[in-house]
Structure 1
């Protein structure tokens, strides 16, 4: 399965490992109004965006009929866990989380 991350400045990293994902998340310390989030996108169209304040947005960028979900995470470790699910293509595990739609 193929996936990629966008860092806070919009740069991309193809198929990052867990350590690289953690580094990209650390970049949220530099977030501003123009560059507020980092994201991980999967070839299936699913995407997780994480904002500096802990907001996570779960959406399918290729299917407009899917209503995006939002929730808050308590820290970078939780965001990293969610990124790990998506990198592995485990959409089912992500869909089971308490998203507000």
Structure 2
């Protein structure tokens, strides 16, 4: 399954392995108002965006039937776990998480 990440400055990282996903997430230490998040996007169009304060946003801009979901105060470890699920293509497992809509 194909996936990619945007780092905090908007650079693209293709097919990041778990270690690289961790480094991209750690880049949130340099987040600012213009560059507030990092994200992982799966080829299906689903993506998870992570913010410095622990906010995650789950969305598929191409799917008007499903509104975006949010989770707050998500730990680094849980964020990496969710990134891993999406990277492996397990969209159903990510969708099943307790997203607030």
TM-score higher than 0.5: yes
* SS state at 1:48 partner: strand
**TM-score, with length taken from structure 1:** 0.96
RMSD between aligned residues: 0.9
What is the CA–CA distance in structure 2 between the aligned matches of 1:74 and 1:2, rounded to whole Å?
A: 25
Conserved 8 A contact 1:48-1:57: yes
Residue 62 of structure 1 and its aligned partner are, at CA, apart by 1.5
- TM-score (ref. length: structure 2): 0.96
Across the two proteins, how many residue pairs are aligned to each other?
Answer: 101
1-structure distance, mates of 2:92, 2:77: 20
Q: Encode CA deviations 1:36-83: one digit per residue, 9 max, x unaligned.
A: 000000110100000000000000122222200000243211110000
Q: Distance in 2 between matches of 1:6 and 1:81?
A: 17
Cα distance in 2, alignment partners of residues 12 and 40 from structure 1: 10
> Any conservation in 2 of the 1:5–1:41 contact (CA below 8 Å)?
yes
Secondary structure, in 3 states, of the residue corresponding to 2:65?
Answer: coil
Q: Which stretches in structure 1 are left out of the alignment for 5+ residues? A: none
